[in-house]
């Protein structure tokens, strides 16, 4: 028997959730919790108004809003539906034999072995389909450049505003050895941020720009 | 790849190279004189395709008369700084859209010196200008090169960018200018959009023939829309060969290009841009209908090339994974002065469409 945990999608002001914390699929099978959060068996249920993840110190992470007709205890939950707001407080049944863990699973630690790091560059973003097309260059081994389509749901919340053509990100695929020796696959996407130009850099840019312009000449124009 | 013998003095030639990401063009203007437009890297040896080609043919550097960087996108300028250095006697042209304060600041900011991750083709162009005493801007009707060869007056003229494209592009560059400290930083490389500043080149071989190189110019009101209604352009000699604009895309096409600027019998050459899936199957069909013959520089399989494990893992979160390049290839068209027939040769993964 699992532990009943009450969650409240309606309490989430953004109806948003941290997809970067999911491990392998955008279909969340609530029977097989693939969250990075394992549940402390001492917790049996949460208060009505308390969101599930916030109970574990991750107020920024929320369970997706529920479809009123969905029985979450047995259904595959479609987390691609970002718009639906549920008033229902669904119940997720989780196994008892798991241990609480606060760190998100995509944090690379001593137990995580990177198997490939792809440096990606966003080529185009399809808002309607919720995908981005990206070029992918392997950082490990000699692999030619590839192109692929990545669902935007894999992009961490904090990086969503960076998803634009030309943006550079790193897609790290790694294996994690779990307690007990089980190996699981995981991945993380992180977009590259950069500091703003410093005054010194701006001065040098202006110098280079002046030099650039001074070298451009014109040829005659045809009749 | 063995390119064989150089063209005879009385042969004109257009060769288009492309690996699937990038393009380069060489044109034999006659009597051993050459024009280079854009640059891409030959993956077989990692040197610019044009330089490798001319070296194989035994062309001495002083026979390259002009180099044109049609625009700053990295799929058109990879290795062009190498060309500018190797062919130091050639005049170097870049789009006049870069000849203004905003564009200069743009190129300087994205030169790769301060923010390497944000640099694209801008770093190549900055390097070219840095190494040269001067370069030239190409604007509508700029004479890129003029010579007399085979008793023909050969003129290489830029058709674009037009003045209105020039003005519009300033606004495009301005949005990527570095912010001052304290303002929101620019976190992504400049987006290659609204390609209105690309340099279209028309090569007039006098009474003999003409070639039109469409670069990446798009079909907007400013762009092809402006050129097809331009009386001066309409009066130029119709071309029998067209390097199709913008990798054959719908938004780089305008039916009037084919009817106004090209001869009845015309050969189309395309380079793919696999990152955007260009040309699409429908693009190819459209071009086949419009051209007498059509060729693409690169058309091999793009099946993912990595271990099965890697594909499986990547496939967990990434779909439609395929190679960026579709194999390097070149399309070469040669014609003897006085002949009506272009002789076509395909190298590497080039294909007829």
Which range among B21-25, B143-147, B211-215, B346-350 shows the weakest confidence by mean pLDDT? B21-25
Would you state the pLDDT for residue B92? Answer: 98
Least confident of B10-14, B162-166, B255-259, B264-268: B162-166
pLDDT score, position B227: 95
CB contact under 8 A, A187 and B108: no
Query: pLDDT category, A70, cuts 50, 70, 90?
Result: very low
Residue B344 to residue B329: CA distance in whole angstroms: 13
| % of chain B with per-residue pLDDT over 90 | 71
Give pLDDT, residue B20.
Answer: 74
User: Does A133 score more than 70 pLDDT?
Assistant: yes
**pLDDT above 60 (res A47):** no
pLDDT grade, residue B182 (50/70/90)?
Answer: low
B189 → closest Cβ in A25, A166, A193: A166
The pLDDT score that the predictor gives to residue A74 is 28
ipTM exceeds 0.95: no
Subunit contact A148:B21, Cβ cutoff 8 A:
no
Chain B residues touching residue A168 (CB < 8 angstroms): 117, 188-189
Residue B183 with chain A: CB contacts under 8 Å: 196
pLDDT tens figures, B140-165: 999 999 999 999 999 999 999 998 88
Q: What is the pLDDT of residue B120?
A: 76
Closest CA to B211 of B342, B96, B54: B342
Give pLDDT tens digits for B99-119: 998 899 989 988 888 777 677
pLDDT, position A79: 36
Q: What is the pLDDT of residue B135?
A: 97
Chain B residues in contact with A156 by the CB 8 A cut-off are: none
Query: Would you state the pLDDT for residue B316?
Result: 86
Buried b vs exposed e over B278-316: b needs ≥16 C-beta within 10 Å?
bbeeebbebbeebbebbbbbbbbebebbbeeebeebbee
- A137-149 b/e with 16+ CB inside 10 Å = b? ebeeeebebbbbb
Segment among A3-7, A127-131, B226-230, B296-300 with least mean pLDDT = A3-7
Q: Tell me which residue of A193, A196, A148 sits closest to A173, measured CA to CA.
A: A148
What confidence category does residue A216 fall into, taking pLDDT thresholds of 50, 70 and 90? very high
Is residue A44 predicted with pLDDT exceeding 50? no
Q: In the block, which residue shows the tokens 């130091």?
A: B88
Q: Which of A115, A149, A194 sits opposite B185 (nearest CB)?
A: A194
pLDDT digits (tens, 9 = 90+) for A11-40: 333 333 322 233 333 333 333 333 333 333
Interface contact A195, partner B, CB < 8 A:
yes
Give residues with Cβ within 8 angstroms of B136, minimum separation 6.
Answer: A216, A217, A218, A219, B91, B92, B93, B94, B142
What local confidence, expressed as pLDDT, does residue A131 receive?
Answer: 94
* CA distance linking residue A140 with residue B349, whole number of Å: 28
CB contacts of B273 in chain A (<8 Å) are none
CA–CA dist B196, B217 (Å, integer): 6
Question: Which candidate from A167, A216, A219 shows the least CB-CB separation from B142?
Answer: A219
A150 touches chain B (CB under 8 A): yes
Higher pLDDT, B309 or A83: B309
Amino acid A220: pLDDT? 93
Residue B313 near residue A173, CB atoms below 8 Å: yes
Mutate to test the interface with A, among B78, B92, B104, B132 (most CBs of A within 10 A): B104
Q: What is the pLDDT of residue B276?
A: 81
Query: Has residue A159 got a pLDDT over 60?
Result: yes
**Band of the pLDDT at B219, cuts 50, 70, 90?**
confident
Question: How high is the pLDDT of residue A108?
Answer: 54
Q: Quickly state the pLDDT bin for B193 (edges 50, 70, 90).
A: low
158-177 of A, contacting B, C-beta below 8 A: 162, 164-168, 171, 173
User: Kindly report the CA angle at A11 between A9 and A17, in degrees rounded to 5?
Assistant: 50
Query: Does residue A106 register a pLDDT over 80?
Result: no
- Residue B282 sits at φ, ψ, to 5 deg, of -70, -30
Question: What is the model's pLDDT at position B128?
Answer: 96
Q: Is the pTM of this model over 0.95?
A: no
Q: Give A83-102 pLDDT, tens digit per residue.
A: 444 444 444 433 333 333 33
Query: How far, in Å, CA of B334 to CA of B26, rounded?
Result: 12
A185 → closest Cβ in B275, B304, B316: B316
Please report the sign of the dihedral spanned by the C-alpha atoms of residue B278, residue B284, residue B285, residue B291. positive
Residues 30-89 of A with CB under 8 A from B: none
Q: Residue B131: is its pLDDT beyond 60?
A: yes
What radius of gyration do chain B's Cα atoms show?
Answer: 20
Flag whether pLDDT at B31 surpasses 90: yes
């Amino acid at each position: 028997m699992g532990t009943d945990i009450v969650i409240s999608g309606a309490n989430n002001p953004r109806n948003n959730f941290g997809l970067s914390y999911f491990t392998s699929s955008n279909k969340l099978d609530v029977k097989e919790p693939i969250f990075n959060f394992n549940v402390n068996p001492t917790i049996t249920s949460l208060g009505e108004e308390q969101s599930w993840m916030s109970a574990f110190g991750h107020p920024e992470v929320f369970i997706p809003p529920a479809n009123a007709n969905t029985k979450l205890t047995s259904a595959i939950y479609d987390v691609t539906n970002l718009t639906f707001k549920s008033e229902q407080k669904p119940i997720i049944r989780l196994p008892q034999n798991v241990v609480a863990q606060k760190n998100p699973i995509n944090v690379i630690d001593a137990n995580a072995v990177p198997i490939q790091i792809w440096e990606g560059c966003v080529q185009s973003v399809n808002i309607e389909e919720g995908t981005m097309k990206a070029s992918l260059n392997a950082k490990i081994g000699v692999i030619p450049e590839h192109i692929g389509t990545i669902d935007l749901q894999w992009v961490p919340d904090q990086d969503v505003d960076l998803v634009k053509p030309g943006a550079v990100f790193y897609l790290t695929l790694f294996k994690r050895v779990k307690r007990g020796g089980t190996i699981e696959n995981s991945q993380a996407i992180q977009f590259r941020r950069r500091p703003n130009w410093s005054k010194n850099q701006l001065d040098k840019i202006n110098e280079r720009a002046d030099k650039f312009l001074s070298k451009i000449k014109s040829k005659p124009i045809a009749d | 790849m063995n390119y064989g013998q150089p063209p005879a003095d009385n042969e004109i030639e257009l060769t288009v190279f492309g690996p699937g990401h990038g393009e380069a063009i060489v044109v034999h203007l006659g009597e051993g004189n050459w024009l280079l437009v854009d640059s891409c890297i030959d993956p077989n040896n990692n040197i610019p395709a044009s330089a490798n080609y001319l070296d194989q043919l035994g062309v001495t550097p002083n026979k390259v008369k002009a180099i044109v960087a049609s625009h700053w996108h990295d799929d058109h300028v990879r290795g062009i700084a190498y060309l500018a250095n190797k062919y130091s006697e050639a005049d170097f042209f870049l789009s006049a859209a870069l000849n203004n304060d905003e564009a200069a600041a743009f190129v300087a900011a994205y030169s790769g010196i301060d923010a390497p991750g944000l640099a694209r083709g801008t770093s190549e162009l900055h390097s070219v200008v840095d190494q040269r005493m001067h370069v030239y801007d190409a604007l509508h009707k700029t004479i890129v090169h003029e010579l007399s060869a085979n008793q023909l007056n050969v003129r290489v003229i830029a058709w674009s960018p037009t003045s209105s494209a020039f003005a519009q592009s300033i606004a495009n560059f301005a949005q990527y200018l570095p912010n001052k400290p304290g303002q929101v930083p620019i976190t992504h490389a400049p987006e290659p959009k609204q390609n209105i500043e690309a340099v279209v080149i028309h090569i007039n071989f006098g009474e003999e023939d003409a070639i039109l190189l469409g670069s990446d110019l798009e079909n907007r009101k400013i762009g092809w829309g402006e050129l097809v209604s331009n009386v001066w352009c309409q009066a130029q000699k119709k071309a029998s060969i067209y390097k199709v604009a913008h990798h054959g895309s719908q938004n780089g096409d305008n039916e009037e290009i084919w009817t106004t600027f090209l001869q009845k019998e015309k050969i189309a050459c395309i380079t793919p841009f696999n990152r955007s899936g260009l040309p699409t199957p429908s693009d190819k069909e459209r071009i086949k209908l419009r051209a007498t013959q059509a060729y693409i520089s690169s058309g091999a399989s793009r099946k993912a090339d990595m271990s099965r494990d890697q594909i499986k893992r990547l496939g967990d979160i990434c779909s439609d994974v395929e190679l960026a390049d579709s194999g390097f290839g070149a399309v070469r068209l040669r014609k003897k002065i006085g002949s009506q027939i272009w002789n076509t040769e395909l190298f590497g993964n080039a294909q007829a469409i």
